[in-house]
Structures are given as C-alpha cells and as structure tokens.
Amino acid sequence: MDIRVQDAPFDLGAESGVFAARQSGMGAVVTFTGIVRDNAAGDLSEMMIEHYPGMTEKAIGDIATEASNRWNLGDILIIHRYGALAPQEMIMMVATSAPHRSDAFEAAEFLMDFLKSRAPFWKKEVTRDSARWVEAKDEDEDALSRWRSGVAD
Amino acid sequence: MNVMYFAWVRERVGRPSEEVETAATTVRELVDELTAREPRYAAAFADPTALRVAVDQQLSDFDAPLENVREVAFFPPMTGG
C-alpha cells in the first residue's frame, strides 16, 4: 500500500507504469485520475485544496485497509495533492491491482467514493473576483450507502 | 487541548488552531462554551448540521467525550477526490 499526500504534481504515466510493473501474480490494474474541472462560467483561476495533515494520511490509510479487506487485491496506490491547482491539473490518482478485473474496478470505485467524503480535504474555487468553498453534494453521501455493510464511518 | 479549524470554519474563527483551556466534557459542551465566548465562534458554529468534527484525528460526533483528548477539529463536510 502506497499513500502519498503532496503539493507537488505527479506523473500519471510514470506512476501507472511503475505500479503495473511491480505487480506479480496479478491480472488487472485499474487507475482513476481526478483533474481540476473548470467552473460553469469558464473563469476558474485556481482550485485551492486544504487538508488536515496527519488525519489525512490516517483516514486514507483506513479507507485503503477497508478496501483490502473487502476485495482480493494485490496492491493500492493513492496520491492526493493539496495547495493551489490550475484547471486541468491532476488532483489525485488511485491505482488498484487484483488477480481479476472486477475486484480492481470495484475497489477503485469504493476508494473514490470514500476519498470524496471521508478524507479531510476541502476545495475552494477561486476566480479573478470571487472565492467559493465547494459544497459537499447529497449524492456523494448517497454513494457511500451502497457500500454500507460493515463500514465504519 | 488543541482545537483546529478548517475551510470556512477556519475563516470564520479567524485562525487555524489554538490551545483552549476548557472543562467541557463533550464536543457539544465545547461548542457551547466557544459560542458564548465571542461572535466569531458563534458565526462558525451557527449551524451544527453543517459541521463535522474529528476527535484525535478520528471522525466523530458532537456527543463524543473529551476526557484525555488532545486534539479536536471542526470543519465542513469534506470534498476530496
């Protein structure tokens, strides 16, 4: 399990390649990448991402451990950035490996659902003349309910 | 105890963290105590349903006891990913 919380950019291709190359006995690698989406008006200057140092790493570790317990996985990589990010920059990535693809896909989706609303990050959209905290959506919370059995949250 | 604030809670309180001397036995009592202190806390804690709390870096709730707790953090619902 490899968890990194950092302000520096990461190289998606290199990270995915290294992750896939170090697996043995696995048949599937799934990766997901989140990028900064421009706002509706198209004038986003940056996305400020705040986090809770210490708790962030623990919370992500707990989520990854839960995924490892639920699915037959080989390995998990999670990179999540914080700080000021420009539109189209990569915010985070998740990679999972498993003997079979369904475990890798489902675990990646589970990780994303929980990272969204159980890892202590907060996004603020900054434009030239305004700044607005991104609000959590009801559907983000609803997304957790389908994984509900046995998850501590 | 170290009390921390994140996102708009931090902006309303006006600082990221502070040492608080308190006799509060639960998170709710701590919120009530801070709210009574100054308007900026009242502004931050006005709508408890919009707040989440972590006790010693574990997501918790307002009924959580504070005995032997070193760190309490208040923040809005998280928006990671």
Residue carrying the six token digits 């998606």: A12
Query: Domain A2-147 adopts which CATH fold?
Result: Aldehyde Oxidoreductase; domain 3 (3.90.1170)
Q: In terms of residues, how long is chain A?
A: 153
For residue B48, the domain's CATH number is 3.10.20.30
Q: Does a structural domain hold residue B80? A: no
Half-sphere exposure of A35 (CA within 13 A, CB side): 7
Contact check, Cβ <8 Å, B79/A52: no
Task: Find the mean pLDDT for residues B42-48.
Answer: 95
Domain extent listing, chain A: 2-147
Residue of A58, A92, A120 with shortest CB distance to B78: A120
> Which segments in chain A show pLDDT lower than 50?
153
pLDDT the model gives residue A149: 65
Return the pLDDT at A148.
Answer: 82
- Domain with B44, as residue range(s), is 2-75
Q: pLDDT of B2-33, one tens digit each? A: 999 999 999 999 999 999 999 999 999 999 99
E strands along chain B, which residues? 2-5, 17-19, 52-55, 58-60, 71-75
pLDDT value for B75? 98
Q: Do A116 and B81 count as a contact with CB atoms less than 8 A apart?
A: yes
Beta-carbon separation of A124 and B6 below 8 A: no
Minimum distance, in Å, between the CA of residue B58 and any CA atom of chain A: 7
Which residue on chain B is closest to A91 by alpha carbon? B81
Domains of chain B: total: 1
On whether residue B81 sits in a domain, the answer given is: no
In the prediction, which pLDDT does B74 show? 98
pLDDT at A146: 87
pLDDT surpasses 60 at B80: yes
Mean pLDDT of chain B, nearest integer? 97
Q: Confirm whether the ipTM is greater than 0.90.
A: yes
